[in-house]
Amino acid sequence: AGMGRTVVELFYDVISPYSWLGFEVLCRYQHIWNIDLRFRPGFLGGIMQQTGNKPPAMLPKRAEYLLKDVKRMAKYYQVPIKISGDDFQRIFRTSSLAAMRFITAIDMTKPEYLEPLSREFWIRFWSQVSILRRSVILPVAQQAGLPSELSQKALEMMSSPTVKDRLRETTDEAMKYGAFGMPAVVAHYNGEPHLFFGSDRLELLGSVIGK
């Protein structure tokens, strides 16, 4: 990190619309706030399982609110999220494991592609409303501008112990900071980590790091 730059880690999963909101806002603010933004792709399913957390949409009243909330935030931050009640069923039927392993493989080989690749997965899942099947991975990578030989290599790496371990370690690290869901934003300031959960605490993050 450069002089006086606060390291901010964003632990995220592309199945989470709130992660997309947090991601876009931090991408926009990284230069304004002069932060050293680090993307940490993790697996939300693993966190939910290990912390005993449940998707908010499992509570009917909360699901009702979540629909309105995501729509409001998407409009406010100008992020093209399309969400309807049916999407909750779609999420329950979908695992983001393959997508997050692919993203992790890219993180380990060419991390400069992390931002466009992650964004493209969110667009596919939350704007174009498609299932995160393994078969969509290469089209998503192509759309994000990844060279095909890199995508092919990452696809082969996905099932390797190295990638699986890295994803598990990142997920565990988020939980060590106290995460119980995603996005989990960790600001390293004044020698200690500060955890912020969700995408609606970013002004608080700014205030804590003196922005």
Active-site position among 16, 19, 118, 151: 16
Tokens of 82: 């399309």
| Strand partners for 35 | 6
Query: And the tokens for 154?
Result: 């990452």
Specify whether 16 is catalytic: yes
Q: How far is CA 98 from CA 13, 86, 120, 159, in A?
A: 11, 22, 15, 9
Residue 35 pLDDT greater than 50, yes or no: yes
| Residue 176 scores a pLDDT above 90 | yes
| CATH code reported for the domain at 6-206 | 3.40.30.10
Q: What is the pLDDT of residue 119?
A: 95
Higher local confidence (pLDDT), 206 or 89? 206
Closest CA to 40 of 149, 156, 186, 178: 186
Across the range 98-121, mean pLDDT stands at: 96
pLDDT of residue 150: 97
| The pLDDT of residue 1 | 42
Q: Of 68, 71, 151, which is closest to residue 103 (Cα–Cα)?
A: 151
What value does the mean pLDDT of the chain take? 89
Over residues 43-87, the pLDDT tens digits come to 998 998 888 777 766 677 877 888 888 899 999 999 998 887 777
Would you say 107 and 115 are in contact if contact means Cβ atoms under 8 Å apart?
no
pLDDT in tens, 116-175: 999 999 998 888 767 667 788 999 999 999 999 999 999 999 999 999 999 999 999 999
Quick one: average pLDDT of 178-187? 93
> How many Å apart are CA 183 and CA 124, to the nearest integer?
18
At 140, which amino acid appears?
Answer: V
Domain boundaries, the chain: 6-206
